[in-house]
Every structure is written in C-alpha cells, then in structure tokens.
C-alpha cells in the first residue's frame, strides 16, 4: 500500500529520479491522467470539424456537447461542483457552473466564487522572478547559493533549473513527517524555512538539469529569492507588480487561512483518517510560493492570456519579449506531447498550468493559435481511478472544442 502523501499540485506529470510516479493520492497510488477515452461514453455525438487554428465555433450544439461532457465527468468522478469557462475572440463564449458549492446546504456552484488555485500560484511566483531578471537584479543562470544558504547542490542549481523543475531537490510535500504535521493540524502555519527543512533532510535525487521532476521545494526557494532581491514580502510584491497591473482584483495571496466570500467549500480525502473532509478553512501557508493563492474564474481568464503571452490587458508588457521567449521554451518531459518551461507547461499547444491542493483543483490554459482560453475550477481534489479530475475535464472538453489540440495526457502505471 502506498503512503498518502499530501498533494500540492504535482503538475500534469510527476516523475521521480527513476521514472516512477510520486505523491500518491490518499489511500492509494496515483497515476497520470488518462486520455479522453476514459471519460467517453459508448454513444459520443459526432465530433465537430475544427477550423484552421484547431478550434470549433461554440454553437448551441457544441455547447450542449460540452454540457454533457462536464456532467458525465462529474458523475463518473463524483465531483460536487464545477465551473467551466471557454472564451474565443470570434467563435463564442461559454461560462457555466454545475453541481453544488456546499454539500451540506445544497447551495449551487456559481461562476463568481473565490476558489483556491493551488499550483497555479507557481505561475505568479515565476513571473515575479522573471520581472527581477528584466530589472537586472538576478540572472536565470545564477546559482541559488548566491541568494540562499544551505541548499544541497546550491552551487550547481540555477534559478532556471528551479523554475523548470529540473533541480534534483526532494519535494517537501512528499515527506512523511510533513504529511503527519499538516494532517494533524491543517490550520497551523508553516514558514518557508520549515518547508525547506522537510526537503533538505533528504538526499538530492539527481544532478541538476539531468531530468524533469515536479517539486514544490523549487518554488519555495524562488519565493525567497524574490523577497530578498525585491525587499518586499512575496505576497506584497505579487499584489503590487503582477495582480494590480493585470487588473486581477479578485486574486489574492493569503497570509493565513483567510478566504473571501462567496467561496466554495472544498472536499478532500487527504486527511489523517483518509475520510473526506471540508478543507475550506485549512491554512494554505504550507503551499506558500508553490500553491497558496486564491482567484476567480474571470481573473483566471485574464491571467491565462497574460501569462502565456507576457502582455498585460492594456497592451503593456508584463515581462520582456526576450524573457518571455525563454519562459515559453518548454523542453520535453517524460510524457509524450507535454513540455515544461519556466513555471508553465505546454500540452498539445495549450499553455498554462493547473493547480491542486486539498479540496480544490483548477486548470487555466491558453491556446495561442486560436487565442482561446479554457478555465476549469473544481471543489474537490479526490482522484478518480488514480486520475486527477481537473485533467479529465480538460481532456473531455478539448476533445470537443479543439480536436486538433486535445489536452491528452496518457496514463502510466501507478507507483507501488
């Protein structure tokens, strides 16, 4: 039986130094998300034909297909509530909520709810790092020991390797003692140094740059670099230099377990007993620069294009074209069709990130060829047959709306 390590969005792939999957779901092992076949029915409607950019028009018939796909995945994966947003510049808009935000009261899910976004936080932290690169305060090929002491292999690991998940450091959220501490008291605060201590007691997994390994420790270190070189707390820096310029008025970096209303409750089995609990009031400080942030569907719509292009809604640059080009260089991962750059992935042309932490999952991606955006937010992180629900939704929806660019991640055997 595998140990139920806590999940803070491993990302679309989580591969250890020897290629086995890491961070299994509570009560069982975790495999990578399946292809669309896993959520298909025996009587799928005919697929609409795609345009030259690979995206179909969101006609009433297509929207009905999306409705049916979302409801099918919800039933199959036992998802209490979901909200889906699809936006294209000339082929239609789709925003709809399904299910309930609160199982105890039956309140319905709604598009305006605040949601915890887990590892989508990484896109904001890495953006802060890249802004400091543009300002000449740091360099992507600087080693982490120039800024933070005590990092194993710190004289060899670069900021680029940290942002690209190729450092070789151990993932603190996969540590047994961390899991016990968090699940014993989910409302306790954690400091960045405490999180690093859980990681650094483990040996490095491989030489820096040798392979891809999704690791939350990397982002804790990058968050500390931002604080040291900007002279601001990370949450303050992100609010002032990223959220405010982008007009993300309903996105925040909490310092404790604060959660604006209206918000959805969150349902997780990543608990001390393995039983499903409501995690809405858990303290996300344990995710910090890797996963603590909160947002809404509409703000994530804005952010999807901003982070994928480096351009703010008003046309100004969030980061320079040269730095954005480096960010979007997405070397392959062990998963066919999926690359990971600097805090962003590229899966079959869809650029962005997904997020997961106890009780919540999200997916925010942008397809540049069609200027199309897809956002999915959920109030559960409970896996279905070792597959993450957010990726099941992404796969099922893109099979309909962008058949030439399906968010398709093949399953692999679970870790034993």
Q: Could you tell me the domains of the chain?
A: 36-401 (3.40.710.10)
- pLDDT at 48 (0 to 100): 59
- Cα of first residue to Cα of last residue in the chain, in angstroms, is 7
63 sits in which H/E element = helix 60-77
Q: Which two tokens stand for residue 227?
A: 């604080």
**In the structure, what pLDDT confidence band is assigned to residue 36 with cuts at 50, 70 and 90?**
very low
Residue 23 has pLDDT above 80, yes or no: no
- Contact at 8 Å (CB) between 164 and 342? yes
- Measured CA to CA, the distance from residue 89 to residue 98 in angstroms comes to 24
Render pLDDT for 140-192 as a digit per residue (tens, 0 to 9): 999 999 999 999 999 999 999 999 999 999 999 999 999 999 999 999 999 99
User: What is residue 48's DSSP assignment?
Assistant: P
Give the list of residues 6+ apart from residue 245 with CB closer than 8 angstroms, or none. 312, 316, 318
Residue 92 has pLDDT above 80, yes or no: yes
Render pLDDT for 296-342 as a digit per residue (tens, 0 to 9): 999 999 999 999 999 999 999 999 999 999 999 999 998 888 999 99
Q: Which range (119-133, 253-267, 346-360, 398-412) has the least confidence?
A: 398-412
User: What is the percent of the chain where pLDDT is above 90?
Assistant: 83
- pLDDT at 113 (0 to 100): 98
Residue 37 has pLDDT above 90, yes or no: no
pTM: 0.90
Per-chain mean pLDDT for the chain = 88
The residue-averaged pLDDT of 90-114 equals 97
- Contact at 8 Å (CB) between 389 and 84? no
The residue-averaged pLDDT of 279-290 equals 98
**In the structure, what pLDDT confidence band is assigned to residue 410 with cuts at 50, 70 and 90?**
low
Counts for the chain of helices (H) and strands (E), in that order = 12, 11
Residue 26 has pLDDT above 90, yes or no: no
Q: Which two tokens stand for residue 126?
A: 């890495």
- pLDDT at 49 (0 to 100): 59
């Amino acid at each position: 039986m595998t140990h139920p390590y806590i999940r803070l969005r491993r990302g679309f792939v989580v591969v250890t130094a020897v290629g086995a999957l890491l961070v299994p779901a509570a009560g069982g092992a975790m495999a990578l998300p399946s292809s669309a076949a896993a959520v298909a029915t025996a009587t799928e409607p005919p697929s609409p034909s795609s345009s030259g950019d690979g995206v179909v028009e969101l006609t009433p018939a297509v929207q009905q297909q999306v409705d049916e796909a979302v409801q099918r995945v919800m039933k199959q994966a036992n998802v209490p509530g979901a909200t889906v947003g699809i936006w294209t510049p000339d082929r239609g808009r789709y925003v709809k909520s399904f299910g309930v935000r609160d199982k105890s009261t039956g309140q319905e899910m709604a598009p305006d709810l605040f949601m915890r976004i887990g590892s989508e936080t990484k896109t904001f932290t890495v953006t802060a790092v890249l802004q400091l690169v543009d300002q000449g305060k740091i360099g992507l090929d600087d080693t982490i020991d120039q800024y933070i002491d005590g990092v194993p292999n710190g004289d060899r690991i670069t900021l680029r390797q940290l942002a690209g998940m190729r450092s070789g450091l151990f993932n603190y959220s996969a540590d047994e003692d961390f899991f016990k501490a968090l699940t014993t008291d989910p409302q306790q605060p954690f400091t960045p140094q405490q999180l690093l201590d859980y990681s650094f007691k483990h040996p490095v997994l491989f030489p820096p740059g040798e392979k891809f390994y999704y690791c939350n420790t990397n982002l804790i270190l990058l968050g500390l670099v931002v604080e040291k070189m900007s002279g601001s707390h990370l949450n303050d820096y992100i609010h002032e230099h990223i959220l405010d310029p982008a007009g993300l008025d309903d996105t925040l970096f909490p310092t404790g377990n604060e959660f604006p209303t209206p918000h959805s409750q969150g349902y997780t089995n990543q608990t001390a007993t393995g039983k499903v609990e409501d995690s809405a009031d858990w303290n996300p400080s344990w995710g910090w620069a890797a996963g603590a942030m909160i947002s809404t569907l509409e703000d994530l719509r804005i952010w999807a294009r901003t982070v994928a292009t480096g351009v703010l809604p008003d046309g100004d640059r969030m980061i320079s074209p040269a730095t954005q080009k480096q960010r979007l260089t997405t070397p392959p991962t062990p998963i066919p069709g999926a690359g990971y750059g600097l805090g962003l992935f590229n899966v079959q042309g869809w650029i962005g990130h997904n997020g997961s932490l106890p009780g919540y999952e999200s997916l925010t991606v942008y397809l540049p060829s069609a200027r199309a955006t897809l956002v999915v937010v959920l109030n559960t992180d409970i896996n279905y047959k070792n597959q993450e629900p957010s990726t099941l939704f992404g796969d099922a929806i893109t099979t309909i709306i962008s058949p030439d660019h399906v968010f398709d991640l093949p399953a692999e055997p679970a870790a034993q």
